[in-house]
Structure formats: C-alpha cells, structure tokens
Amino acid sequence: MTDKPKRVRTAVFPAAGLGTRFLPATKAQPKEMLPIVDKPLIQYAVEECAASGIENIIIVTGRGKNAIEDHFDQAPELERFLRDKGDTARADLVRDIGAKIHFSYTRQRDPLGLGHAVLVARELVGDEPFAVLLGDVICDGPKPATRALCDVYEETGIGAIAVEPVPRELIHLYGIVDARPATERKWGERLRQILDLVEKPDAEKAPSNLSVTGRYVLPPEIFDHLEKTKPGRGGEIQLTDGLRALAREQGLWALITEGKTYDAGDKLGFLKATVEFALKNPEFGDEFRAYLKAMEF
Ligand code: UTP
C-alpha cells in the first residue's frame, strides 16, 4: 500500500437487535439502555469512542429504540430544572452526554443480522475506514479498545478486530478466530493474522480459544463483501461471513486487547459488569465492598 491509511473518524453502532436474551426487561426498552450502575450500557461504548478520537457515531436503530436517540440529545427542560435548583453538577452532566460527538441515526427495518445492520450504514459511512462497536459490550482497560484497533489500522492499512481468550466451556457461545502470529512485530504476541473465523464452534473443533469481542475497525471494502453475503445461520446476514471474505481478500488482524470485556447483553455478563463497576465507584464502592463481604453465601 503506497498511500497512508486514512484516519478512522467514524463509528457504527448496530443497535437494532431484539435483545431476546434479556427478556422481559427488553420487551419495551432497548437493551442498550439498561444501566450499569448509573449509565446506560451504550454510553460506555460512546465514551470509549470519544476517548479514541472518533468524531462521528452512526447508530443503527430499529423499532422501539427511540430512547437511545433521546439519551444523546439535549434535554433543555431537565437541564433548566437542575440549574434553577442550583444543581450545576447534574445539569452539566446532562448537558455533556454525547456533546463531544456528532450523532446520526439510521434504521434497519427488519433485524436481518449484524452484517446487515452494518451494511445499512454504508451511505452514511462513505468511502472511509470505520469502527464498529456493539453497544451491549463494555471494554474496560488501560487503553480504549477502539483506539488500540485504530492504531493497528492506521499503521498497517489492514482492518483489525478485538479478540480475547475464553475458557473452553464458553467457546461454543462466540465467534472464534483461526489465526497465526503476525509478521508485523510492533504489537508482539498480541497481534495475529486471521486465516478464518468460525461462528460458535464446538470446543473440540474450534481452531483457537480467541473469541471476537465486539470491537472492529474495518476498511470500506467490507461493504462490498457484505453486499455479496448470503443469509446464513437463522436467515441472518452474518458480519462473520463478510469478515471471512475480507480476511481472504486483503487480510484482517486479530488484536488481543488489554483489559476486560463484559458481554452485558447477557444476564450473567450484565451482573458481573454491574458488580465490578459498583466496586470501582468512587461514591459508594467501599461501602458496597463491605456489604458484599458481610453477606453470607
Ligand atoms: P446480539 O445477538 O448480541 O443482539 O447482536 P440481539 O439480537 O439484540 O440480542 P439477543 O441475542 O436476541 O439477546 C449483536 C449486536 O448486533 C445488533 C444488536 O443490537 C447487538 O448490538 N444487531 C443484531 C442489529 O443491529 N441488527 C440485527 O439484525 C441483529
């Protein structure tokens, strides 16, 4: 590649899924708006984008997802109410949500899969590399996972997706990569070259224990691959199938990100994230720790 890769400025948030694993909570409210301590899930990923230098976020929504749009919009009445009461801190908090980023929204009319949701954002993304973040996944680490992936793309011009080792008994729940050590040594053992991806394999047949976590930085060519992708498992257009084609055609990195990933779209993952973020809370973390310690199990 002769030209320097473009800087990654845009992120796509596919948020049109039905959240069936979290029913009944998600019957009338978006999964992405379930709070971990005091922030909706999706806000953690938006803050990750802001910390990663992303300027534009495109949220792919569906029916019943209006609360997401409202959350990142201004709330003048609420802000005025708080200011009139002299509660400047909370008024500023309300004002600052989403203030650093430009948001656009588009709709996926039918939930035809994650790959289809990404494809729906094609016109808004244009001919640029972009990040994809699953809004129900929280990545908590020393460096924002999206920034780490942008660094790999901006240096190499090849897309990169975040992976993490998972215990053998959980392999069948995730997309798993078949990868070999990268010839590019800057990231050491953490960077792998993807040979293939497999959706939810049996542990015995899995090519590795590295699961795809829900953070991606992709070149615009992924859209051509998704256009050609036929519906797979469950009649859905799988992002994994587009990624496999991309990996074959122009390569794709897997980056083992530092820190911890919570799949908070799953009840147990949600509870783990809640407890860990509550323990870290400066206001009541110590009290919460003492409460947990005093509990009899
Ligand atoms: P998930 O499978 O985790 O989400 O999809 P889901 O379909 O909402 O939830 P369950 O499995 O029924 O509990 C991963 C991401 O892809 C989005 C979801 O919103 C989620 O962020 N997605 C999925 C779409 O935007 N459109 C789809 O058609 C499918």
Please tell me whether the peptide bond between 24 and the residue prior to it is cis, using omega within 30 degrees of 0.
yes
Distance 6 CA to ligand 1 centre (A): 29
Give the position, in ligand 1's atom list, of the atom nearest the Cα of 113. Answer: 28
Q: Which H, E and C letters describe the chain, residue by residue? A: CCCCCCCCCEEEEECCCCCHHHCCCCCCCCHHHCEECCEEHHHHHHHHHHHCCCCEEEEEECCCCHHHHHHCCCCHHHHHHHHHCCCHHHHHHHHHCCCCCEEEEEECCCCCCHHHHHHHCHHHHCCCCEEEECCCEEEECCCCHHHHHHHHHHHHCCCEEEEEECCHHHHHHCEEEEEEECCCCCCHHHEEEEEEEEECCCHHHCCCCEEEEEEEEECCCHHHHHHHCCCCHHHCCCHHHHHHHHHHHHCCEEEECCCEEEECCCHHHHHHHHHHHHHCCCCCHHHHHHHHHHCCC
Compute the radius of gyration of the chain from its Cα atoms. Answer: 20
Q: What is the pLDDT of residues 18-57, one digit of tens each?
A: 999 999 999 999 999 999 999 999 999 999 999 999 999 9
Give the position, in ligand 1's atom list, of the atom nearest the Cα of 31. Answer: 8
Q: What is the pLDDT of residues 126-161, one digit of tens each?
A: 999 999 999 999 999 999 999 999 999 999 999 999
Confidence of residue 2 (pLDDT cuts 50, 70, 90): low
Counting Cβ atoms within 10 Å, is residue 56 exposed (0-12), middle (13-18) or buried (19+)?
Answer: middle
Measured distance CA(138)–CA(265) in Å, rounded: 10
Confidence of residue 233 (pLDDT cuts 50, 70, 90): confident
CATH 3.40.50.300 fits 10-294, yes or no: no
- What ranges do the domains of the chain cover? 10-294
Distance 18 CA to ligand 1 centre (A): 6
Q: Tell me the best of 26, 42, 116, 136 to mutate to test the pocket of ligand 1, counting ligand atoms within 8 Å of each CB and taking the most.
A: 136
What residue type is assigned to position 104 of the chain? S
- Which residue has tokens 């040979």? 195
Return the closest-CA partner of residue 273 out of 170, 148, 137. 137
Ligand 1 site residues, Cβ closer than 6 angstroms: 14-22, 31, 60, 108, 111-114, 116-117, 134-136, 265
Distance 135 CA to ligand 1 centre (A): 9
pLDDT over 70 (residue 279)? yes
Distance 107 CA to ligand 1 centre (A): 14
Average pLDDT, integer, range 93-101? 90
Distance 44 CA to ligand 1 centre (A): 17
Return the closest-CA partner of residue 11 out of 42, 57, 72. 57
Q: Tell me the best of 18, 108, 120 to mutate to test the pocket of ligand 1, counting ligand atoms within 8 Å of each CB and taking the most.
A: 18
Return the closest-CA partner of residue 60 out of 243, 226, 225. 226
- pLDDT of 4: 85
Measured distance CA(195)–CA(88) in Å, rounded: 53
Q: What is the pLDDT of residues 164-194, one digit of tens each?
A: 999 999 999 999 999 999 988 899 999 999 9
- Which residue has tokens 């998972």? 166
CB-CB neighbours of 149 under 10 Å = 26
- Which residue has tokens 């590295």? 210
89 CB contacts (<8 Å, ≥6 apart)?
A: none
Measured torsion, CA atoms of residues 173, 150, 62, 41, in degrees rounded to the nearest 10:
70
- Distances from the Cα of 41 to the Cα of 175, 190, 280, 296, angstroms: 22, 27, 16, 30
- pLDDT of 297: 74
What pTM did the predictor assign? Answer: 0.95
Distance 295 CA to ligand 1 centre (A): 35
Task: Give the CA angle between residues 106, 108, 109 to the nearest 5°.
Answer: 120
